[in-house]
A and B are shown apart, each in its own frame.
Chain A
Amino acid sequence: MSLVNDLAMMFGRAPQKPRHKTDAAVVLHGRKRGRGVEIQKLIEEIAAAQSVHTWRNRRWAVIVGINLLFTLSFWFDVQLVEGSLTASRFLGFHLADVYSGILVSLAQHHIPINLLIGMVTVMLIWGLLGGRAYCSWVCPYHLVAEWAEILHLKLAKRGIVSDHPMHRGVRTVLWIVFALLALATGHTLFLTLNPIGILSRAVVYGPSLALLWVLLLLAFEVVYSRRSWCRYVCPIGLTYGLVGALAPFRVEYKLEACAHEGECRKVCEVPHVLDLTIKGRAEDVRVDIGPDCTRCGLCVDVCPTKSLDYKFKGLSSLL
């Protein structure tokens, strides 16, 4: 039931208040009444403290590293990873971006066997490592969009720009429309405008005019709508969200110490997945964050009470 709700939320439904809570959660929620002063103190502490960027820095290093691996493989001809993020070969094994593969298959009315092998391999990887972890740990557009977001937030603080949120259901609709367009026209129209492909090719093979489109998207995000491509458009991200719906690697929320001050939701790319951190919302004392979570770790870094942390299901009990 919870998975269905999580998926519906990823497709665009607004977060709901839980109908049932476990007894333990009810007890914990009850204990938190009348802690306003404490929380006010916490907020002041947060304002004074230096921000921690442990996971963010690790993640940025991984994004740069993976994308550089493609570049170096090409320029020094070591053939470690050939290709770009839409499709590649790692030590000879096929890898293919799942949504790009779906579009090509729809356009051709046929699934080429090598493409299928590549898509299945990628689904297995991200089925374990947490679907949208692809977004925050691999996608080069995610990295530049994060920089655009920092700029957007600075400008917003000074009142120069403001965020215009949109309905997340747009992403689901576009996922279907782009797929139908491929099926109807026999061409993968979306791949022409796909900023991930454009950036990945630019990183590997050198710059192209197509980068202007990426700049336009970033400008739109800075000036008009925060993180809009990743939040409301990217069908590739949605696909990985589905792929990783049951992934063991995720962020876990612990209700006990949480002060519900909301720092995590301020930094999150997909704040609806953190709606359960609002006071009184968590249905259990420990809750896994839903499939739309990109496992970026910004919330893990920012949480003053360590109530959010990574976990790998099954592994923690083994260790």
Chain B
Amino acid sequence: MTSENPESGESRAASAPGKKAPQKKKPRRRLSRQQQRRRMLLRSALTGFALVLLQPIAEWPLVRRAHARLRPPGAKDQDHFLGACIKCGQCVQVCPVQAITFADITEGLGSGVPYIDARAQACDFSCDALSCILACPTGALSHEIHSKEEVHSGIARLARPDACRARLGKGFRGTTRGPGFRGRLRHEEVDRWNALPVAEHPYDREICDLCVIECPIGESAIRLEALEDSDVPGAMTPVVADACVGCGVCEMVCPEEPTCIVVDPFGEEAMG
């Protein structure tokens, strides 16, 4: 931060036994008390100033990147969320599928703030109670939300329609995302309380509709419709509706690499 030559009393005393020839060494000017005090005040002011300046410098170029994250359920707009989050990580701890992780310092303001990487592990609402909202001590995750249907994290979008298996009239068999995938998803009909590893849950669908059948919200959020203007017989397409809350399960289970369907977090455009 500040760089100055050492000039305090200790350094002069300590550097006395010279290794270099004494005539080569510049005799150090002895500073008066007043000079020493002036230097002390100067470096104090510089250090304080540097610490204050460092904040906006570290933040501003990165603010927009911080805004592109999918936040845990209950985050209102990103601006409010980033300001209200105390960065304690209690939401991270209570999530039963560990969907929530921390942003690092590369995200400026967002550093230490939680987000969800839906492709790796989406929020499947398997806690039912919205534990993360209940855990939040500051209301960064709004306590006004009581059910998963009220969540407003983002909205799904078919980002790569050309690669979508349903639109190509293809089905899907086997486990999605490969055997090494570590994400988990609750299947209520199998286990009411615990989410199962995605890698242990094979599918056999005549037409690929994983994004539709796994949606925790259901038909009102995403459904499969016949694709009319297609040359492929039996081609279907997922259609996202307003009830979508942006939990990201569709993004996690899409078998294509990279995913065909993505969740756009809300509030991304709020400051951009």
A positions within 8 Å CB-CB of B:
73-74, 79, 82-84, 86-89, 94, 96-97, 100-101, 104, 107-108, 112, 114-115, 118, 156-159, 161-167, 169-170, 173-174, 177-178, 181, 185-193, 197-198, 201, 204-205, 208-210, 212-213, 220, 224-225, 228, 232-233
Residues of B within 8 A of A112 (CB): 84, 137-139
Q: Distance in Å from the Cβ of A265 to the closest Cβ of chain B? A: 14
B59 at the interface (CB under 8 A from A): yes
B12 closest partner in A (C-beta): A162
Instruction: Check B88 against A187 for contact (C-beta < 8 Å).
Output: no
- CB of B10 within 8 A of CB of A83, answer no
In the complex, chain A residues whose CB is within 8 Å of the CB of B89: 83-84, 201, 204-205
CB-CB < 8 A to A156: which residues of B? 10, 14
In the complex, whether B102 has a CB less than 8 A from a CB of chain A is: yes
Q: Which residues of B contact A115 (CB under 8 A)?
A: 86, 137-139
B47 at the interface (CB under 8 A from A): yes
Count of residues in B whose CB is under 8 Å from the partner chain: 49
Residues of the A chain whose Cβ atoms lie less than 8 Å from the Cβ of B83:
104, 107-108, 185-188
0/1 interface trace, chain B 177-196, chain A, CB 8 Å (1 if under): 00000000000000000000
In Å, the complex CA distance between A204 and B93 comes to 10
Q: Contacts A159-B15, A186-B79, A189-B55 given: A101-B4 contact, CB under 8 Å?
A: no
**Does B40 touch A at the CB level, under 8 Å?**
yes
Interface centre among A73, A107, A181 (most CB of B within 10 A): A107
Report the separation of the CA atoms of residues A89 and B44 in the bound assembly, to the nearest whole angstrom: 37
> 15 extra interchain contacts, Cβ-Cβ under 8 A, other than A162-B11, A164-B8, A187-B109?
A74-B93, A83-B137, A89-B135, A108-B83, A108-B138, A114-B139, A115-B138, A164-B4, A167-B44, A188-B86, A189-B56, A209-B106, A210-B111, A224-B2, A233-B48
Which of B1, B93, B106, B139 is the one whose CB lies under 8 Å from A82?
Answer: B93
A225 to B80, CA, bound (A): 37
How many angstroms between the C-alpha atoms of A181 and B55 in the bound complex? 10
State the CA gap A97–B89 with chains docked (Å): 13
Contact between A192 and B109 (Cβ–Cβ < 8 Å)?
yes
Considering the complex, give the chain B residue whose CB is closest to the CB of A116: B137
* B148 contacts A by Cβ under 8 Å: no
What 7 pairs across the A-B complex have the smallest Cβ distances? A159-B14, A162-B11, A87-B88, A210-B105, A166-B44, A167-B44, A189-B55
Contact of B55 with A190 in the complex, beta carbons under 8 Å: yes
**Which B residue sits closest to A106, measured CB to CB?**
B83
Residues of B within 8 A of A192 (CB): 55, 58-59, 105, 108-109, 111-112
Tell me whether B112 and A198 are in contact (CB under 8 A). Answer: yes
Asked whether any CB of chain A lies closer than 8 Å to the CB of B104, the reply is yes
Chain A interface helix/strand/loop/mixed: helix
Interchain CB contact under 8 A, B8 and A163: yes
Whether the Cβ atoms of A174 and B14 lie closer than 8 Å is: no
State in angstroms the CA–CA spacing of A157 and B8 once bound together. Answer: 14
Q: How many A-B residue pairs have CB under 8 A?
A: 167
Hey, which chain B residues are within 8 Å of A162, CB to CB?
6, 8, 10-11, 14
- A233 to B85 CA separation, bound complex (whole angstroms): 23
Residues of B within 8 Å of A187, CB to CB, are 59, 82-83, 109
Q: How far is the CA of A252 from the CA of B211 in the complex (A)?
A: 68
Instruction: Give the residues from 242 to 266 in chain B that come closer than 8 angstroms, CB to CB, to chain A.
Output: none
Select A108's contact among B55, B84, B88, B94, beta carbons within 8 Å. Answer: B84
Residues of B near A208 (CB, < 8 A) are: 102, 104-105
Residues of A contacting B175 in the complex (Cβ-Cβ under 8 angstroms): none
> Which residues from A are CB-within-8-Å of B31?
none
Which single member of A73, A189, A205, A233 contacts B59 (CB below 8 Å)?
A: A189
Which residues of the other chain, A, contact B15 by a CB distance below 8 angstroms?
159
Which residues from B are CB-within-8-Å of A79?
93
Contact of A167 with B82 in the complex, beta carbons under 8 Å: no
A170 touches B48 (CB 8 A): yes
Q: List 20 A-B contacts (CB under 8 A).
A: A82-B93, A87-B138, A96-B88, A104-B84, A104-B86, A104-B138, A112-B137, A114-B139, A115-B138, A115-B139, A166-B40, A166-B47, A174-B52, A178-B52, A187-B83, A188-B83, A191-B112, A192-B59, A192-B112, A193-B54
- Docked complex Cα distance between A57 and B54 (Å): 36
- A86 and B14 contact, Cβ closer than 8 Å, known pairs A170-B48, A189-B109: no
Q: Is B92 an interface residue (CB 8 A)?
A: yes
Residues of A contacting B82 with CB < 8 Å?
187
- B contact residues around A163 at 8 Å (CB): 8, 10
Distance, CA A156 to CA B6, complexed state (A): 11
A96 to B44, CA, bound (A): 30
Measured in the bound complex, the distance between the Cα atoms of B135 and A112 in whole Å is 13
B157 adjacent to chain A (CB < 8 Å): no
* A301 to B167 Cα, complex, angstroms: 76
B56 near A213: Cβ-Cβ < 8 Å:
no
Point out the residues of chain A lying under 8 angstroms from B80, CB to CB.
Answer: 108
Asked whether B129 is an interface residue with its Cβ less than 8 Å from the other chain, the reply is: no
B90 close to A197 (CB less than 8 A): no
B43 within 8 A of A: yes
Residue in B closest to A165 when the chains form the complex, CB atoms: B40
A15 shortest CB reach to chain B, Å = 15
